[in-house]
Amino acid sequence: MSTVGNSTNIFWHECPVGKVDRQKLLNQQGCVVWITGLSGSGKSTLACSLGRTLHSRGKLSYVLDGDNLRHGLNKNLGFSPEDRTENIRRVGEVAKLFADAGLICIASLISPYCKDRDACRALLSENFFEARLCYVFLNMPLELCEERDPKGLYKLARAGKIKGFTGIDDPYEPPSNCEIEITQKDGICPTPNEMAGQVVSYLEDKGYLEAQ
């Protein structure tokens, strides 16, 4: 018997089909690619391009987009520091399940705080699931993201109509331990396909694109 959270008399139920069986069926290893960066840095664009590239190679992935999740799983959360932490925690738990299912889970969220990203790394490093985590930091300058402003949010934040907006009046803490960092080169952003190719190369080098 084990006690989990505030619940008691909770048991873990093992099933005869395990993670290794699922990975052999899919011919890949479950892992999590977590894309972090400012709003407008290109996270969703990279996530979709990566999913398309993996699909073309016969690999099964699923994108957990931060905005999409706030339409359902996290629709009761706001943008206070506490709600942001809970948002990341929930997504980390879901990503962990996807990885255990044998999928390549692509999580695309601003995830601005180091402590929350570190908590996800710890969660996804537990030996129970042996899930793998790759942080991809889209290190794009605020000026570029604000110039893009695809959702018009920076304009609203600058006008004071949105409070607690990351990069304006709420901090973004850059990761110091990411596996992949993508930046401009000579002032030019890599294309979505180039960024996806960089991530796929990493996954391939780590052996994630074939079963153990």
pLDDT in tens, 125-150: 754 444 589 999 999 999 999 999 99
| Active-site annotation holds for 111 | yes
**In the chain, where the domains are located:** 28-205
Q: Which has more pLDDT, 130 or 21?
A: 21
Q: Which has more pLDDT, 19 or 110?
A: 110
Percentage with pLDDT > 90 across the chain:
85
From 2, 7, 111, 201, the catalytic residue: 111
- Residue 132 pLDDT: 83
Reduced 3-state DSSP string for 82-130: HHHHHHHHHHHHHHHHHHHCCCEEEEECCCCCHHHHHHHHHHCCCCCCC
Mean pLDDT along residues 177-196: 95
Average pLDDT, the chain: 92
- Residue 128 pLDDT: 43
- Residue 126 pLDDT: 59
* Fold of domain 28-205: Rossmann fold (3.40.50)
Q: What would the pLDDT profile of 51-110 be if each residue is shown by its tens digit?
A: 999 999 999 999 999 999 999 999 999 999 999 999 999 999 999 999 999 999 999 999
pLDDT confidence of 2, banded at 50, 70, 90?
very low
Count other C-beta atoms under 10 Å from residue 20's C-beta: 12
Residues in the chain, total: 212
Q: What would the pLDDT profile of 26-40 be if each residue is shown by its tens digit?
A: 999 999 999 999 999
Question: Which pair of tokens denotes residue 30?
Answer: 């479950």
- Residue 1 pLDDT: 35
